[in-house]
Structure 1
Amino acid sequence: MKRRDFFKNGFLTTLGLGTIGSYPVFANSPNLAKEQAKNIIFLVSDGMSAGTLNMADILLRNKEGRATKWISLYEENLVKRALMDTASANSFITDSAAAGSAWGGGMRVKNGALNIGPDGERPVPILQKFKTMGKAVGCVTSVQITHATPASFCVNNNSRNAMAEIAEDYLKLKFDVMMGGGGNFFSAEKRTDKVDLYEAYRQNGFDLVRNKADMVNANGNKPIMGVFADDGLPYAVDRVNNEELKSQVPSLAEMTKKAIEVLNKNKKGFVMQVEGGKVDWAAHGNDAPALMYDQLDFDEAVAVAMDFAVKDKETLVIITTDHGNSNPGLFGGNQASKNFEKLYTTTASNEWVLNQINSDYNASQVVDLIMAHQNIALKTADAELLLKNYRPGDNGLYNTNNLPLLPLASMQSSHNSVQWAGNNHSGDYVELAMYGPGSEKLTGFVKNFELHNFMLEACGVQKNLWT
C-alpha cells in the first residue's frame, strides 16, 4: 500500500475505529457474567506515563515505607492488568478529548472533539446512557469540571475548548455530582456572555458548593455542582503546604469519597469518573514536584475507590490513564538515589516557586527561594538565566503566566535526577487495571474505545438499547 493511500484510506481502519453499537467486544459468549456490576468507578490519571507511576511508587516507599495503592494492587494480585492503546481517529498520539471520547462514546474521534465522530456521528455519551437507566452519575476532577476528560463522558461538542458551552450543557443534564474547578466558566464576571451560571444552577435545584466545608455538609438530596477554583485546582504539593488552601480546597480523594457517599444512595447504582487532571498539566510543564504529588493525590483517590469496592462487592473499579505525557524517568549514576530524595521534602511545585519571582528579584534571591522550598542549590549563573527567561504574556492553558518552567526543569535534572523525553503527549500503550464484577473478562491488550461497551456489558445493558 502506498503511504499516501494508507493515510487517505487505511488510517482509521489501522487504528481500529470503533463503530457505534458494536457489542460485545470482550466476551465471545453472549452470556453475561454471573455477577453484574451495580456500580462503576472509572479512575483516570490524565497524562500518566509509566515513569510517573514508577517514580511515585519509589518516592512513597522510601519516604513513608509503603507502596502506592496502584502498585500494591499489582503486588497483591488483586486486579486484572492489561495494556491499552491510546490512538485517536486521526493520530497515533491522542489528546484528552479524543481519548476520553473513545471511552465515553465508544468510537475513535479526531483530536479536539468530544463525542463527534469523523463523519459527524454523535454517539450518546456513556453517563447519559447510565442516567437513562436510572443510575446516579457524576464526575470529579482536579482541573476544570468542563475540561476534556470529564466532558468526554457527558456531552457532544465539536470542540473541547467550548468550556463555557459545556458548563451550560451540564445544567441541562442535571447529573448527580460534578466537582472540580472551572469557575471562570460559571461566573458572570468571567464569562464573555456575562451569564451568571452559578445563579442558574441554584434556581434549577442544584446544591452549589464552593469550598471543602460546603462539600462536606452537602446532604445529597439535590444534585451537586462543586466549583472550588476559577481554573484548575492547586497542585497537591502546594495545597497541603498551605493551611488556607488545605482548609478550602478538597483533595481528589475527599471529592471521591463524598461523591461515592452521595451517588451510592441510588438503589439502582451509580457510575462515576474520577480524574487526576493536573498530573497531565505537571507533565506538560516538566514540573517534577507537582507531578509526583499529584500522582500520589490521585493514588489516594484510588484507595478510596478500592476500599468502597472491596466492601461493596458490586462495584467495578477501572484504573488507567488516557495517554502518556513527556515520558519522565529517574536517570543517573551513583547520586541518583540521593538526588531523588530532594523530592521527599519539597514543599512547592515549580509553578508556585516561579510565580513568587517578580521584577525585583535578583539571582541570589532566586537561589534562596528554590533552596527553601525544594532543597535544590541552583548555581548563580542558572538563577540569572532563569530570570532572563521570564517573558510577559499568556502562554495558554497549562502555563498562563508564561513561566520558564522548562528551563527550570532542565536545571533541576542534575539535582533530582528526573529527566524528560519532551513536554507533550506520547503514543505509548498505557496501564489498565480492573477490580470487581466484569473484570474477569479483561484481556491482556485493549483498544481504548472498547472500554465503552465493556462498561455497558459489565452492568448487563442490553446490546440493542442504543443501536
Structure 2
Amino acid sequence: MNRRKFFRNGALTAVGASIFTPFETVRASDLESEWKRKKAKNIILLVSDGMSTGTLNMADLYLSRKTGKGSNWLNLYRENKVNRALMDMASANSMVTDSAAASSSWGGGARINNGGINYGVNGEQHLPIWQKFKSAGKKTGCVTTVPITHATPAGFCVNEKSRNDQASIAEKYLEHGFDVLMGGGNEYFDAEKRKDKKDMYRAFANKGYVVARSRQEMMTAPAHQQILGVFSDNGLAYTKDRESNKELMENIPSLAEMTQKAIENLSDSPKGFTLQVEAGKVDWAAHANDIAGLLYDQVAFDEAVQVAMDFAEKDGDTLVIITTDHGNANPGLIYGKNANDNFDTVQNYKHTNEWILNSIGKETSVSNLKERVEFANGFALTDEEAKTLLSYYTSLKPKDGWYNPRNLPFNALAEIQKKHTSVGWISMQHSADYVELAMYGPGSELLNPFIKNTDLHFLMLEAAEVENNF
C-alpha cells in the first residue's frame, strides 16, 4: 500500500492554519520527515465527547488561572507540536450528529443515520476499524467514563442496529475478544441486572480476562493480560464528585489511570495496538448544563491526553489523535465586569449540580437547599431561587437535558449559577460545530486542515499501513 496516496492526492480543501505563535521547541514540522519514513505501529485516539469549543477554551482558562500553565491540549498548539484541523461531523440524516453516528463514521468509514452503530442507511454493515486492526494482529482496547457499552466505544468495535441495545453490545465485545474494556455499565454485565440473567463477568473470566470491579483491582491486575474493568452501574462519578469523596477516590479510577493501565496492558503486542479513550461524561455534563461536571471532567480528559503524549513521545511509533465527536450546549464565558472573578469561583466548587439536585426531595426545606448549594458552590441562593428549584419536586415539569431520569431541574440551577460564574449555555443539546482535531506522530503529516469525519477512518488505516480490503 502507498500509505501517503489517500491524503496527498485527496481533494480535501485547506481552510486555515493555527492561530497560535509557535514557541522554540520540538515542532511537528521538525519531525515530519522522520514520520514520513515510519508507519504508526500504535494509535491512541482520545475523544472528549460532546466538547464544544467553549469547553476546550474554558478548561484552558481555568488551568491557566489556577496553575499558570494552561491545558495540555492547547499547549500542544502553543508549542506547535501537532498538526491541527477542523472536522465536519455530520451524520447521514442530519447536520447535527449523535455519538453513535459520529463514532461509526470513524469506526466504519461511512456516514450513517443517528442512532445506529455501523449500520448503513440501506441496512448494510460496515466493518468496524478495531476489528480490522485486530485482524492485522494488533491488540485493541477502549476506556471511557460512561458505560463501556455506550455509543462511542461501540462505534469502533461492533455493529448494532440500535445504540440502546447495550446488553447485546457487551456480548459482541466478548465474541470479538477486544483486549482492554474499561468504564461503567455494570447493568449490562451483571446477571442480577441483565434481563436475560446472563453472567457476562463469568463469561469474560472463562475466556481468560481479568475482571476488575474496583480501582485497586485494576491497578494490581497483571500487565499484558486481557482486562474487563467495570466500576459503576451506569456512568462513572463525575471527577469533581469523585475528588470530594474518599470512597469514590479509592474505588473508581480516573480516566488518566485507566489510560495508563490500558497502555500497559496493550503495549507488549509485537504488531502494536489501538486504543480509544473517551471522556464520555463531558457530554452528559453539557446536556445538564452542569459547569462543575463539565469543567472538571474536561480537565480529567486533559490529564489522559498527557498520559498518551508521554507514551508517544518516548515510544516514537505512536500516532496520537485528539478530538471530539460534536459540540453540545455551546457553553462559554460571557462578557461582564466581574467575568474574571466570577469564573474563578468555579475553582472552589466542591460538587456538581447532579450531586446537589439528586439529594433533594419533596421534604427538602428552603433552608436545607440553601445550605447544600452554599456548601457545594460557595454562594447563597435567595429564598425565591430555592423555592423555584423545589417547585420541580412537587409537580411534574418538562425534562431538562438527556441522561436525566428523575427530571431534575438542571437548566434552572444553571441559570441561577450563571450570575455567579459568568458561564452561559445556548441549549441542552448537541450542535453542528466543526470540531477540533489534533495529531502527533507517524501519520499526522497526512492530515489536511479541513476533513470529513469518515476521512479519519481511512487516515488511521493509511498511517498504520493496514490494507482496507476487508
Paired residue for 2:290, among 287, 302, 311? Answer: 287
TM-score, normalised with respect to structure 2 = 0.91
Partners of 1:83 and 1:446 within 8 A in 2: yes
Q: Cα distance, 1:403 vs. partner?
A: 1.1
SS at 1:46's partner residue?
Answer: coil
SS at 2:45's partner residue?
Answer: strand
Residue 27 of structure 1: aligned partner: 8
Q: Cα distance, 1:404 vs. partner?
A: 0.9
- In structure 2, runs of 5+ residues without a counterpart are 11-34
AA partner of residue 438 (structure 1)? G
AA partner of residue 115 (structure 1)? N
Paired residue for 1:448, among 423, 446, 453? Answer: 453
User: Structure 1: how far apart are the matches of 2:152 and 2:37?
Assistant: 32
User: Structure 2: how far apart are the matches of 1:301 and 1:202?
Assistant: 28
Matched, 1:86 2:67: no
SS at 2:242's partner residue?
Answer: helix
Partners of 2:224 and 2:266 within 8 A in 1: no
AA partner of residue 461 (structure 1)? V
Residue 274 of structure 2: aligned partner: 271
Residue 107 of structure 1: aligned partner: 110
Partners of 2:148 and 2:185 within 8 A in 1: yes
Q: Deviations over 1:249-273 (max 9, x none)?
A: 0000000000001100111100010
Residue 71 of structure 2: aligned partner: 68
Residue 130 of structure 2: aligned partner: 127
Matched, 1:367 2:348: no
User: Structure 2: how far apart are the matches of 1:144 and 1:214?
Assistant: 18
Distance 1:306 1:221, change over 3 A: closer
Paired residue for 2:184, among 181, 184, 187? Answer: 181
Q: Cα distance, 1:167 vs. partner?
A: 0.6
Partners of 2:348 and 2:377 within 8 A in 1: yes
AA partner of residue 448 (structure 1)? N
AA partner of residue 406 (structure 2)? N
Paired residue for 2:98, among 95, 99, 104? Answer: 95
Partners of 2:329 and 2:427 within 8 A in 1: yes
Matches within 5 A, 1:413-452: 413-452=418-457
Partners of 1:24 and 1:454 within 8 A in 2: no
Q: Deviations over 1:141-192 (max 9, x none)?
A: 0000000000000000110001010011111111110000000011111111
User: Structure 1: how far apart are the matches of 2:162 and 2:455?
Assistant: 23
Q: Deviations over 1:366-414 (max 9, x none)?
A: 1111111111221110001100012579969611222111110111111
Matches within 5 A, 1:65-464: 65-390=68-393, 398-463=403-468
Residue 21 of structure 2: aligned partner: none
User: Structure 2: how far apart are the matches of 1:399 and 1:285?
Assistant: 8
Q: Cα distance, 1:453 vs. partner?
A: 0.6
Q: Cα distance, 1:365 vs. partner?
A: 1.6
Partners of 2:224 and 2:267 within 8 A in 1: no
User: Structure 1: how far apart are the matches of 2:396 and 2:146?
Assistant: 24
Partners of 1:176 and 1:263 within 8 A in 2: yes
Q: What number of residue pairs does the alignment pair up? A: 442
Residue 49 of structure 1: aligned partner: 52
Q: Cα distance, 1:444 vs. partner?
A: 0.5
SS at 1:153's partner residue?
Answer: helix
SS at 1:399's partner residue?
Answer: coil
Partners of 1:57 and 1:67 within 8 A in 2: yes
Q: Cα distance, 1:196 vs. partner?
A: 1.4
SS at 2:453's partner residue?
Answer: coil
User: Structure 1: how far apart are the matches of 2:68 and 2:370?
Assistant: 31
Identity level (%) = 55
User: Structure 2: how far apart are the matches of 1:97 and 1:238?
Assistant: 27
Q: Deviations over 1:319-356 (max 9, x none)?
A: 00000000000003101111111100101000011112
Q: Cα distance, 1:24 vs. partner?
A: 5.5
SS at 2:39's partner residue?
Answer: coil
Q: Deviations over 1:235-259 (max 9, x none)?
A: 0000011100000000000000000
User: Structure 1: how far apart are the matches of 2:255 and 2:313?
Assistant: 20
Distance 1:173 1:393, change over 3 A: farther
Partners of 1:48 and 1:321 within 8 A in 2: yes
Q: Cα distance, 1:439 vs. partner?
A: 0.4
SS at 1:318's partner residue?
Answer: strand
User: Structure 1: how far apart are the matches of 2:407 and 2:177?
Assistant: 36
- In structure 1, runs of 5+ residues without a counterpart are 1-22
Q: Cα distance, 1:446 vs. partner?
A: 0.7
User: Structure 1: how far apart are the matches of 2:215 and 2:398?
Assistant: 30
Partners of 1:25 and 1:450 within 8 A in 2: no
User: Structure 1: how far apart are the matches of 2:431 and 2:45?
Assistant: 22
Partners of 2:103 and 2:155 within 8 A in 1: yes
User: Structure 2: how far apart are the matches of 1:117 and 1:167?
Assistant: 21
Divergent runs of 4+, >4 A: 391-397
SS at 2:8's partner residue?
Answer: coil
Q: Cα distance, 1:358 vs. partner?
A: 2.5
SS at 1:26's partner residue?
Answer: helix
User: Structure 2: how far apart are the matches of 1:195 and 1:311?
Assistant: 43
User: Structure 2: how far apart are the matches of 1:365 and 1:298?
Assistant: 34
AA partner of residue 7 (structure 2)? F
SS at 2:46's partner residue?
Answer: strand
Q: Cα distance, 1:51 vs. partner?
A: 0.3
Q: Cα distance, 1:206 vs. partner?
A: 1.3
TM-score, normalised with respect to structure 1 = 0.92
User: Structure 1: how far apart are the matches of 2:220 and 2:275?
Assistant: 20
CA RMSD of aligned residues (A): 1.7
Q: Cα distance, 1:221 vs. partner?
A: 4.8
User: Structure 2: how far apart are the matches of 1:281 and 1:460?
Assistant: 36
User: Structure 1: how far apart are the matches of 2:114 and 2:123?
Assistant: 14
User: Structure 1: how far apart are the matches of 2:367 and 2:211?
Assistant: 46
